C-alpha cells in the first residue's frame, strides 16, 4: 500500500477556503473545509463570562462596556453552570419522586373515599329496602285483617237481613189470610179462625230480632309501627367506621429500628380507637405466615420501635368503635 500524502494550495489559495486532495493507493478522496485563522482561535481562547450580563464576551470588551461588571473565566463559568444544572436535575428528580408518591397516595385516598361512600350507600339502600319490606308486610297483614272483619260483618248483617225479610213475608201472609177470613161465612170463619189462632199465636210467641247484632261502626285500627320506628332509628345509629388510609412516609420519620406511621380518615365516622398491625415481609416457606404485631392507639399516628434493621415491614390500620371495625 502506498503512503497517504497531502498536497494543497497553501496560504495562497482563494481566500480562507482550501482544498485538500489526499491520495491513498489508487483511491483518491477529495475534501473541502473552512480553516479558521489563528487570530480567531486566539479570540475564542480569550473569551470570558460576564456574570452581570450572563453571557460570554471577548476579553478585549471587558475594559469597555463591561468595565464595572462581574467577570469570570469561561471555564469556571462553564463548571459553575454544569454544577447548577446537576443541582436542578437532582431537585427535579426529587420533586418527580415526591409527586409520584403523592399521586399514588391520592389514588389510594380516591379509592378509599369511593369505597367508603359506596359502603354507606349500600347500607342506606339495605335499610331503605328493609323498611319498605316491613311496611309492605304490615300493609298486607292489615289489609287481610280488615278484609276478614269486613266479611264477618257483612255476612252477619246479610243473615239478619234475610231473617228479617222472612219474618216480614210471614207477617204479610198472615195479614192477608186474616183479611180473607173476615169476608167468609160464619161457619167457615169459625173453622178457619181456630186454626189461624193457633198459627198466629205460635208466630207471635216467637221472638223477633229487631236489633242489629253487628255494629256497623268502623273500629279504630291502631297501626303498629314499632318495627318500622326501630328500623328508622337504626339509620341514625352509630355505624362502623370507614377504613383509614396510611399516609406516605415523611422524611426523617424512620431510624434503623423505628418508624413513625401516620394515617388519615376520609369520613365523618366516629372512631374510638385505631389498631395498627404490622409484620415483616420475608421469603418464607409456603403456608408459613409471619407473626403479626398490633398496637392500639387513639391518635392518627403511632411510633413503632424495636424493628429489625434492614428488614421490610408491611403495615395496615383499622378504625374501631362500639359498632365494629372498618
What is the structure's pLDDT at 294?
Answer: 93
> What's the mean pLDDT in 218-241?
70
pLDDT at 157 over 80: yes
> What's the mean pLDDT in 7-12?
36
Per-residue pLDDT reduced to its tens digit, 107-136: 877 887 787 788 778 878 888 888 888 888
Choose among 311, 313, 295: nearest CA to 303. 295
CB–CB of 309/256 below 8 Å? yes
pLDDT band for position 286 (50/70/90)?
low
Counted residue by residue, the chain has a size of 326
Choose among 185, 138, 322: nearest CA to 241. 322
What is the structure's pLDDT at 23?
Answer: 36
- Dist. CA 72–CA 81, nearest whole Å: 12
Specify the range with the lowest mean pLDDT, choosing from 105-114, 190-199, 203-212, 307-316.
203-212
Instruction: For the chain, give every domain's residue range.
Output: 121-235, 238-325
Per-residue pLDDT reduced to its tens digit, 66-95: 666 777 777 787 788 888 899 999 999 989
- Please state which of the four CATH numbers 2.30.33.40, 3.40.50.300, 2.40.110.20, 2.60.40.10 is assigned to the domain occupying 238-325: 2.60.40.10
Cα maximum dimension of the chain: 186
- Dist. CA 157–CA 166, nearest whole Å: 14
Per-residue pLDDT reduced to its tens digit, 232-278: 776 666 678 888 889 888 888 888 899 999 998 877 778 889 999 99
What is the structure's pLDDT at 87?
Answer: 92
The chain-wide mean pLDDT, for the chain, equals 75
* 83, 92, 138, 212, 306 from 95: Cα distances, Å: 18, 5, 63, 94, 32
pLDDT band for position 314 (50/70/90)?
very high
Per-residue pLDDT reduced to its tens digit, 181-203: 787 777 777 777 777 877 777 77
DSSP string, 195-233: HHHHHHHHHHTSPP--S-SS--SPPP-----HHHHHHHH
Range 95-121 burial, b when 16+ CB lie within 10 A, else e: eeeeeeeeeeeeeeeeebeeebeebee
Choose among 282, 279, 273, 275: nearest CA to 246. 275
Q: DSSP 3-state assignment of 119? A: helix
Handedness of CA 62, 66, 70, 74 (dihedral sign): negative
Q: Give the residue carrying C-alpha cell 453571557.
A: 55
pLDDT band for position 279 (50/70/90)?
very high
What is the structure's pLDDT at 68?
Answer: 62
- Dist. CA 141–CA 97, nearest whole Å: 65
What is the structure's pLDDT at 8?
Answer: 36
What is the structure's pLDDT at 287?
Answer: 53
pTM comes to 0.45
- Dist. CA 93–CA 100, nearest whole Å: 10
The C-alpha cell of 213 is what? Answer: 247484632
**Using the 8-state DSSP alphabet, how is residue 254 labeled?**
B
What is the structure's pLDDT at 191?
Answer: 75
pLDDT at 281 over 50: yes
CB–CB of 303/258 below 8 Å? yes
Amino acid at each position: 500500500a502506498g503512503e497517504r500524502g497531502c498536497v494543497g494550495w497553501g496560504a495562497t489559495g482563494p481566500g480562507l477556503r482550501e482544498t485538500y486532495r489526499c491520495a491513498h493507493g489508487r483511491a483518491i478522496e477529495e475534501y473541502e473545509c473552512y480553516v479558521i485563522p489563528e487570530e480567531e482561535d486566539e479570540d475564542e481562547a480569550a473569551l470570558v463570562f460576564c456574570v452581570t450580563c450572563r453571557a460570554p464576551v471577548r476579553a478585549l470588551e471587558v475594559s469597555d462596556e463591561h468595565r464595572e461588571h462581574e467577570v469570570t473565566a469561561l471555564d469556571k463559568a462553564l463548571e459553575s453552570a454544569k454544577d447548577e444544572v446537576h443541582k436542578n436535575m437532582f431537585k427535579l428528580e426529587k420533586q418527580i419522586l415526591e409527586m409520584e408518591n403523592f399521586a399514588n397516595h391520592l389514588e389510594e385516598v380516591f379509592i378509599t373515599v369511593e369505597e367508603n361512600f359506596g359502603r354507606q350507600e349500600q347500607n342506606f339502600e339495605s335499610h331503605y329496602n328493609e323498611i319498605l319490606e316491613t311496611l309492605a308486610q304490615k300493609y298486607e297483614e292489615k289489609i287481610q285483617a280488615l278484609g276478614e272483619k269486613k266479611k264477618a260483618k257483612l255476612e252477619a248483617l246479610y243473615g239478619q237481613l234475610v231473617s228479617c225479610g222472612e219474618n216480614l213475608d210471614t207477617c204479610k201472609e198472615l195479614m192477608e189470610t186474616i183479611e180473607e177470613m173476615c169476608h167468609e161465612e160464619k161457619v167457615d170463619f169459625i173453622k178457619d179462625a181456630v186454626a189461624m189462632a193457633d198459627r198466629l199465636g205460635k208466630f207471635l210467641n216467637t221472638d223477633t230480632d229487631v236489633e242489629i247484632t253487628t255494629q256497623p261502626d268502623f273500629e279504630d285500627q291502631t297501626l303498629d309501627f314499632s318495627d318500622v320506628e326501630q328500623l328508622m332509628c337504626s339509620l341514625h345509629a352509630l355505624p362502623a367506621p370507614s377504613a383509614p388510609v396510611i399516609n406516605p412516609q415523611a422524611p426523617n420519620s424512620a431510624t434503623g429500628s423505628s418508624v413513625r406511621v401516620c394515617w388519615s380518615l376520609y369520613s365523618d365516622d366516629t372512631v374510638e380507637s385505631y389498631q395498627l398491625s404490622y409484620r415483616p415481609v420475608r421469603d418464607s416457606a409456603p403456608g408459613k405466615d409471619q407473626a403479626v404485631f398490633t398496637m392500639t392507639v387513639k391518635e392518627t399516628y403511632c411510633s413503632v420501635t424495636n424493628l429489625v434493621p434492614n428488614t421490610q415491614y408491611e403495615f395496615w390500620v383499622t378504625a374501631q368503635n362500639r359498632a365494629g371495625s372498618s
